[in-house]
Amino acid sequence: MNAVNLSTGLGLLLAATAARGSPRVRRGPDGLLLVGGYRPPFPIARAFTVGNVVLVRGDVSRLEGASGPAGGERLLWHEGRHSTQYAWCLGLVMIPLYGVCAGVSMLLCGDWASYNPFERLAGLEDGGYDRRPLRPYLRGRRRGEN
């Protein structure tokens, strides 16, 4: 589906232009394509997905077979869920939707992921994120105070 909706093509184009040297595309689990050496500072995450392409800062082999909190296997599950989200969002539409959700999460708790439904549905812990509480002034309003 992500090949048809052009999101995987955009991921491969991003890999070709933003990865160090000649990026090597590796086949990952569940149809994911893994590319290491992503250079630009945005997004901040150590790995992120565009379509079925998982772009990784550093070497992809660190993801394969690594375990532990946000280890490679769990991170790949997390990124695989994002790949499915691209399909459900009809591809590139996910990018602005994700951006809006990340901005709302930042306003609510000071973190891009904690209240972002895309990250929550992909599994915060699997992605290496801690769930942060609402900002103090919002916690009081939520309980009906002030």
d(CA 63, CA 133): 29
Model pTM greater than 0.85?
yes
- How does strand 33-35 pair with strand 25-27? antiparallel
Report residue 70 as tokens: 């946000």
Strands 33-35 and 53-56: parallel
Among the listed residues 9, 104, 15, 21, the one whose alpha carbon sits nearest the alpha carbon of residue 55: 15
Condensed to tens digits (0 to 9), the pLDDT of residues 47-101 reads 999 999 999 998 888 776 544 444 688 999 999 999 999 999 999 999 999 999 9
3-state secondary structure 60-117: HHHCCCCCCCCCHHHHHHHHHHHHHHHHHCCCCCHHHHHHHHHHHHHHHHCCCCCCCH
